[in-house]
Structure 1
């Protein structure tokens, strides 16, 4: 069975209960997660062998975060260093009040990683797929260079490479814009998750706002010839409590469109994009060139994540496939 490797920072998430604002909070619900960790855990839940590469401090929070990721069946490869685990605070939105994230991740153990500290050839020797996201190179130039080091080895060893562009403008603080760094990393990718609004901001590609999605994605593939597939999600008539969700898949010739889901009474939307990313990786590994089925699996996985507290999608393959085939609607399983 194909083995996937993901690389990124695991964070402690603190959220006020009952949709309270951060300014009202006197207690917090605690979770661990963040993009690449969420993808790894979800893939492991789907039965895919996964390694997750990260760094944590030698204290109880570091131990707890790794125990959590291991509990899902993920094989962690951990550098233990530094003094602190990165934190983010998430204020749940409601109705027309949007959610809010406040980061506290400077000088974290992960931020201390540098080129030459990870034996990528050893890590990739039994792997078939490498997944990363734009969050890691947004944190520092050193981490961007470490990403490039990993990508060079993964490409040389013939792994399929995927990335979620995951543009977070508040994280790019070290004097480089995303479009000055990301193109040099994206050129190694076979699969990208991103949207038209990231074309210039992240990829440095000029476009006309009147261009079709097909034309925009064709320009991505022209700029990055290794790209084989591009996926994107759409939220329709969205507020913090209710979303319409669908997704598209571009293979260079055809634009496939998924079924649309109406998600009301959202429990937690954090990690929905990671659930989609895990779903598309699983779908491509499982259904191979049946891109429509892979896309439907991914969007159904993202839909279910909205009903689950915390960063990580706890839905099983059986549950995702049941929703794909119309067995949703809140029925009680007996």
Structure 2
């Protein structure tokens, strides 16, 4: 089996593929109606990864779809200033997707409202994209399970992209983000994701996402155990079964974030080359925003593998980066490599 440590990623860029979104943030008490102020952030899971990698000096490209208008031009200029290469962006359609998330709430919370129908990305169809051109100079392709959750035609575009990337020998990673409010077109994730996962070299998520998306059952009644040792044991078992079911997969990462009683406990695990690694555990009772922590962890994994770190070093970097994201309001991290390393050393 080829391992990620054998690849020379620095011959190419990391391409993040996904829908750009505007996140609108009402406050929980409705004061925005009186103040005429409604904060917003530019994000989307894959763009958050692209932004982090660009900040950390990894060549970062971003594929999305946007209408060709003045606002899109402003956004592209903003991203280019952050060293994100937007040359792969596909221009068509009439609108950018939006979602509303009450301040301080989680993406899985009832306070999440999507307004993404008929966005430029949602209207993509197979055959539109010249993948040879988009993938030129790319050594790593990243996407998330949010994309195929949008519609069957977008799922088909994902498959088309993965087949093209795989044919070029490009390393592929997926984040098993589960968004129940998006899987509304008559397909269950297990009808779609296994076909996409078979192209992936890195699968990241958690044991419950792997069960929901890939049918990798969580064994035993552990859901309410709260015991770290039990969760990590199940992460090892789940990772081993994923690698057995998907022979192309070389690494499986799991994140554990528990928000009980206002305190957050955060730790992660990585299965790579037949060895299981777990991270330092972090605690906090004060956060700014939960949005983008998983994206930041994924970016940290890519950063570590791209730079050929050891497995434990990769995991600790990604974990520290994700934990520190809890204290940042924007969708993507603003922490430098040095600041993340300071967290690890501290």
Report the TM-score when normalising by structure 1. Answer: 0.90
Equivalent pairs counted in the alignment come to: 322
Choose which of 253, 256, 276 in structure 1 pairs with 2:274.
253
Distance 1:94 1:169, change over 3 A: closer
Choose which of 144, 159, 183 in structure 2 pairs with 1:133.
144
* Matched ranges for 1:19-38 at <5 A: 19-20=28-29, 26-38=36-48
- Is 2:343 the partner of 1:323? yes
- Is 2:34 the partner of 1:14? no
The answer (yes or no) to whether the contact 1:93–1:100 under 8 Å persists in 2 is no
Q: Structure 1 residue 180: deviation in Å? A: 0.2
- Provide the C-alpha distance between the structure 2 equivalents of 1:186 and 1:23, rounded to a whole number of angstroms: 42
The answer (yes or no) to whether the contact 1:242–1:266 under 8 Å persists in 2 is no
Report the TM-score when normalising by structure 2. Answer: 0.87
3-state DSSP of counterpart to 1:4 = strand
- Provide the C-alpha distance between the structure 2 equivalents of 1:274 and 1:221, rounded to a whole number of angstroms: 22
Partner residue, 1:331? none
The answer (yes or no) to whether the contact 1:8–1:132 under 8 Å persists in 2 is yes
The answer (yes or no) to whether the contact 2:105–2:111 under 8 Å persists in 1 is no
Q: Structure 1 residue 312: deviation in Å? A: 0.9
* Matched ranges for 1:1-334 at <5 A: 1=10, 2-17=12-27, 19-20=28-29, 26-76=36-86, 77-93=88-104, 100-209=111-220, 212-238=234-260, 242-251=263-272, 253-288=274-309, 290-326=310-346
Q: Structure 1 residue 254: deviation in Å? A: 2.1
Stretches of structure 1 that go unaligned for 5 or more consecutive residues are: 327-334
Could you list the structure 1 runs, at least 4 aligned residues long, displaced by more than 3 angstroms after superposition: 19-26, 236-239
Distance 1:230 1:41, change over 3 A: same
The answer (yes or no) to whether the contact 1:247–1:295 under 8 Å persists in 2 is yes
- Provide the C-alpha distance between the structure 2 equivalents of 1:21 and 1:245, rounded to a whole number of angstroms: 31
CA offset digits 1:5-29 (Å, max 9, x no partner): 1110000111025x54599675310
